[in-house]
């Protein structure tokens, strides 16, 4: 009884949206540039008073309801985020809000790969027989960390949260996975600590807590994604003993429509099998996969028994693929 099944999904986004036309009031850009280069038409943005915890909790409540369990059944809560409300972690706050009294909770950081890394992490706890009911949340508010003067990055990101419930199951619905990291390319995409010395005594100086806004080498990240994502999906397919035509849905991290198209083309996956919602949300980082998954499930696109290939990729650099059956 050491298989796993995803038994529920949920999602939540801030009410405020900013379309490409409105963005032209912020930076010198155009709807035409953003749409043709990225496929993004609008993004949701969290107000200063909104928190990752409240959005993640709303998404989690939906996933828990769909799974037909109660928060007290949860053994583990994993929050994938790079933008927690609290640098000490936000998973425990979500646990408290849900009233998931039995669950141990912690954050993991793997940027836009966070959901896939979290899925594999959750699966290990279940497969070793330690835990039965796991809540995995992907949530990010990157709008707080972009430089709103930098048109090369600020047009790309949006805020959101998505969640899934993963449960121990007789049949194993996680069919294969592969995770990768390459720290030698770390400087392609960063949300880095900004060293600002504070002289404590004549001998001792320490850094002041501060971060630089997101910096990105867009061309390098694009090249990396288009090359590495098909590779890692091929590897996961091999581990799952599946061929590419057995796949019902390609559900990639929603970074850029051109990346989605190029990966699908390299893998020979037809357009109608590619799930895309980035026109409405932009790149929501760790939230993008569970957000798109939940939408497709609730729209009735993804049906029981469908085989889904998912892949996250981003800062680290990190990337990975997981294949599961719904």
Identity of the residue, 164 or 289, whose beta carbon is nearer to ligand ACO in the bound complex: 289
Is 255 one of the binding residues for ligand ACO (CB under 6 A)?
yes
Q: By CB under 6 A, which span of 33-41, 127-135, 241-249, 289-297 interacts with ligand ACO?
A: 33-41
Is 165 one of the binding residues for ligand ACO (CB under 6 A)?
no
Say how many residues touch ligand ACO, by CB under 6 A. 22
In the Cβ-directed half-sphere of 234, how many Cα atoms lie within 13 Å? 10
Is 283 one of the binding residues for ligand ACO (CB under 6 A)?
yes
Between CA 280 and CA 287 the distance in angstroms is 13
Identity of the residue, 90 or 254, whose beta carbon is nearer to ligand ACO in the bound complex: 254
Tell me whether strands 318-325 and 215-216 are parallel, antiparallel or unpaired.
unpaired
Residue pair 10/163 in contact (Cβ under 8 Å)? The answer is: yes
Between CA 220 and CA 98 the distance in angstroms is 40
Q: By CB under 6 A, which span of 41-49, 65-73, 219-227, 293-301 interacts with ligand ACO?
A: 219-227
Say what the alpha-carbon torsion angle 153, 12, 39, 189 is, to the nearest 10 degrees: 30
Given candidates 9, 167, 256, 276, which one binds ligand ACO under the rule CB under 6 A?
256
Q: By CB under 6 A, which span of 148-156, 175-183, 204-212, 262-270 interacts with ligand ACO?
A: 148-156
Q: Across-strand partners of 285?
A: none
Residue pair 313/253 in contact (Cβ under 8 Å)? The answer is: yes
Which tokens sit at 12?
A: 């939540």
Q: Which residue has the tokens 């009233």?
A: 99
What residues are labeled active site?
112, 253, 283
- Point out which residues bind ligand ACO (CB under 6 A): 29, 33-34, 37-38, 111-112, 151-152, 155, 189, 216, 218-219, 221-222, 255-256, 283, 285, 314-315
């Amino acid at each position: 009884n050491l298989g796993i099944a995803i038994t529920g999904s949920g999602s939540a986004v801030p009410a405020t949206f900013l379309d490409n036309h409105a963005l032209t009031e912020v930076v010198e850009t155009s709807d035409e540039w953003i749409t043709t280069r990225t496929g993004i038409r609008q993004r949701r943005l969290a107000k200063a008073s909104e928190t990752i915890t409240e959005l993640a909790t709303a998404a989690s409540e939906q996933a828990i309801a769909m799974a037909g369990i109660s928060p007290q059944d949860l053994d583990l809560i994993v929050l994938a985020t790079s933008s927690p409300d609290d640098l000490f972690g936000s998973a425990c706050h979500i646990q408290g809000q849900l009233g998931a009294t039995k669950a141990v909770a912690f954050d993991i950081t793997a940027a836009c790969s966070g959901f896939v890394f979290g899925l594999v992490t959750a699966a290990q706890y279940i497969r070793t027989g330690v835990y039965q009911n796991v809540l995995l949340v992907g949530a990010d508010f990157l709008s707080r960390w972009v430089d709103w003067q930098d048109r090369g990055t600020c047009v790309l990101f949006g805020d959101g949260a998505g969640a899934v419930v993963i449960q121990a199951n007789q049949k194993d619905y996680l069919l294969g996975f592969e995770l990768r990291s390459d720290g030698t390319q770390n400087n392609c995409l960063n949300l880095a600590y900004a060293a600002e010395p504070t002289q404590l005594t004549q001998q001792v100086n320490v850094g002041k807590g501060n971060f630089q806004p997101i910096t990105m080498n867009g061309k390098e990240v694009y090249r990396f994604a288009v090359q590495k994502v098909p590779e890692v999906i091929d590897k996961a397919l091999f581990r799952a003993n599946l061929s590419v035509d057995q796949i019902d849905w390609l559900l990639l991290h929603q970074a850029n429509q051109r990346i989605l198209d190029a990966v699908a083309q390299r893998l020979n996956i037809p357009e109608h099998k590619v799930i895309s919602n980035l026109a409405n949300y932009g790149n929501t980082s760790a939230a993008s996969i569970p957000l798109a998954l939940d939408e497709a499930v609730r729209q009735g696109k993804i049906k029981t028994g469908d085989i889904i290939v998912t892949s996250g990729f981003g800062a680290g650099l990190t990337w990975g693929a997981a294949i599961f059956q719904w």
